[in-house]
Amino acid sequence: MTPYYLTAPIYYVNAKPHLGHAYTTIVADAMTRFALLMGRDAMFITGTDEHGDKIVKAAEKAGTSVEELTDRVSGEFRALWPELRARPARFVRTTSPEHKAVVRAFLQKIYDAGDIYFGEYGGYYCYGCERFYTEKELEKGVCPQHLTPTEYISEKNYFFRMSKYQERLKKHILDNPDFIRPARYRAEALALLEGEVLDDLCISRPKTRLSWGIDLPFDSEYVCYVWFDALLAYFTALEGPGSELFNRFWPQAEHLVAKDILKPHAVFWPTMLMAAGLPFYRHLNVHGYWLSRSTKMSKSIGNVVSPLETALQYGLDAFRYFLLREMQFGSDADFSEEALIARFNADLANDLGNLFSRVLSMTEKFCSGQVPAPGPDRDMEREVKGLAQDSLVNFQNFFGRVQFSLALEKLWELVRALNKYVDKAAPWALARAGDKETLGTVLYTLLECMRKIALHLWPVMPDKSVQMLTQLGCDCTVFAHEDAAAIRGILPAESEGFGTLDTGRKVAGVSNLFPRIDVKSAVGPCA
């Protein structure tokens, strides 16, 4: 049983969670559920990033202590994830004693190895990014991310010899085409490593300027730079290097982030791993931004969508489906309620919901609500089954390669083909003609394909998936109890054979999974 360890970012506690954070965490949850279904011992983690200038400034602005702010906002993030059916195995707070111990041990290790030195540095500091920029990196004199003025700061600090590992990292990225994916971000990472020598990384802040951080183990006048501290949360969740958990899961680690934090994950982090003599992660999965009216949704701009309100308004699973279906992983996507409603009505109400409602009501009407026994397949059934196989294999392949939108599109090819098959096979005509055997074949083929669709949708729509399976008369105890051992590894076989659905089982007569949203009456929370 291969382990699977996925990390979502640990989010800053300077403001409440918004749709962008919810997206990454929901994707992490869906990827973990999928890995479990595919047979892996899977978990994902997240947490909150609580040190640094940005947090101190946010507390000052809120007129509260930094401790009060971090406790409150960290609590809000932690409480949101279960509401969105995302279940991180661990939630790391960077202010926790466990995390501080991991950071200090790591710093001491690479200090002892000679990869940290003391020096003087002057640079343009952006408080939003918590990092220095060189003059060349600024855009018209301001921070290229936040478009806000920077502050020139010159001071003595500790530096990590990042440049020492530049060539090895470049080679690793070149030798492993899917180390950073999709490809456009691999190219961006390579561009950072090509040409000029990397600056060494300034990893400390003097306490005279900032005291809200983790003390360096070798100099108590300094605290650790927040990014150096934050990345190590991925180790804290595994109880630190050397632990049993770490040895088991770290070699299978994957990260999930948006493009704003590509550089720390593609450059800082792998060089830190090399300095500590630890293996690289497997994949860095990078997605684009959710935009609101073509502008990045961001707490500093204030154009954010509340994930919980939207989920409550349209249904959590429909919301999760929309997020995974609408955004091509890697590219930006625009969030609008109109787009959500359009997707809901087309894909969920018309295609999927309608399929369930038609087939279940016909089973009720023509077969007393019981799964009928199938007769021999005709060309029509062979064609549908061939298509089902292709669609499910495609779904599994694309989903595993973080192409969620394409995976769902492939699954919907099957949903739509089944609706057409209903029209073509016309069960009502078979019932009228008294052809029970063919009627059984048609309804069985449909119900069995619908069961497979419902199972494949579990990572995306966990509640609706169970509802669909229950309507099909399947025993869902293992899903209701989220029994990982029983769920693990059930998906690969589903794209191969047919006939797992028991005949004679009672199915629901009425389905009503996704009632159509009337556009005129939909008054949204996020207009």
Q: In Å, how far are 31, 140, 329 from 188, measured between CA atoms?
A: 24, 22, 16
Q: Tell me the CB-side half-sphere exposure of residue 442, using CA atoms within 13 A.
A: 27
The answer for residues whose C-beta is within 8 angstroms of residue 68's C-beta and 6 or more apart is: 59
CA 515 to chain centre: 27
Residue (27 or 455) nearer to ligand ME8, CB: 27
Give dist(CA 143, CA 292) in Å, integer: 21
DSSP lists the bridge partners of residue 158 as 118
DSSP type of residue 121: E
Q: 129 catalytic, yes or no?
A: yes
Q: Output the smallest distance, CB 523 to ligand ME8, in A.
A: 24
Q: In Å, how far are 19, 145, 167, 397, 450 from 307, measured between CA atoms?
A: 5, 24, 42, 29, 29
Q: 143 catalytic, yes or no?
A: yes
Catalytic site residue from 16, 109, 146, 164: 146
Q: Output the smallest distance, CB 102 to ligand ME8, in A.
A: 13
Burial 16-31 (b: 16+ CB within 10 A, else e): bbbbbbbbbbbbbbbb
Catalytic site residue from 16, 259, 299, 385: 299
Residue (104 or 131) nearer to ligand ME8, CB: 131
Is residue 40 within 8 Å of residue 2, measured between CB atoms?
yes
Catalytic site residue from 99, 129, 224, 474: 129
Q: 146 catalytic, yes or no?
A: yes
- Rule CB under 6 A: say whether 228 interacts with ligand ME8: no
Beta-sheet strand order (sheet of 116-126): 131-133, 116-126, 151-160, 201-202
Residue (8 or 348) nearer to ligand ME8, CB: 8
Catalytic site residue from 51, 54, 99, 126: 126
- Rule CB under 6 A: say whether 20 interacts with ligand ME8: yes
Q: How many residues bind ligand ME8 (CB under 6 A)?
A: 21
> Which member of 28, 202, 257, 340 binds ligand ME8 (CB under 6 A)?
257
| Residue ranges in 124-153 that form contacts with ligand ME8 under rule CB under 6 A | none
Q: 224 catalytic, yes or no?
A: no
| Residue ranges in 232-251 that form contacts with ligand ME8 under rule CB under 6 A | 233
> Which member of 98, 155, 260, 377 binds ligand ME8 (CB under 6 A)?
260
DSSP result, 263-295: HIIIIIHHHHHHHTT-PPPSEEEEE--EEETTE
Q: Output the smallest distance, CB 27 to ligand ME8, in A.
A: 9
> Which member of 45, 92, 230, 422 binds ligand ME8 (CB under 6 A)?
230
- Point out which span in 16-24, 168-176, 200-208, 457-465 binds ligand ME8 (CB under 6 A): 16-24
Residue (334 or 390) nearer to ligand ME8, CB: 334
19: nearest Cα among 264, 334, 265: 334
> Which member of 4, 5, 6, 11 binds ligand ME8 (CB under 6 A)?
11
Is residue 284 within 8 Å of residue 265, measured between CB atoms?
yes
Residue closest to ligand ME8, measured at CB: 20
- Rule CB under 6 A: say whether 297 interacts with ligand ME8: yes
Q: 481 catalytic, yes or no?
A: no
**Peptide bond just before 182 cis, omega within 30 deg:** yes
Is residue 116 within 8 Å of residue 110, measured between CB atoms?
yes
> Which member of 90, 164, 263, 296 binds ligand ME8 (CB under 6 A)?
296
Q: Which helix (H) or strand (E) is 255 found in, with range?
A: strand 253-258
- Point out which span in 5-13, 173-181, 378-386, 497-505 binds ligand ME8 (CB under 6 A): 5-13
CA 134 to chain centre: 32
How many residues can be counted in the chain?
527
> Which member of 12, 44, 124, 212 binds ligand ME8 (CB under 6 A)?
12
- Point out which span in 143-151, 291-299, 347-355, 495-503 binds ligand ME8 (CB under 6 A): 291-299
Residues tagged active-site:
18, 21, 126, 129, 143, 146, 296, 299
Which residues of the shown chain bind ligand ME8 in the complex (CB under 6 A)?
9-12, 20-21, 23-24, 49, 230-231, 233, 257-258, 260-261, 289-290, 296-298
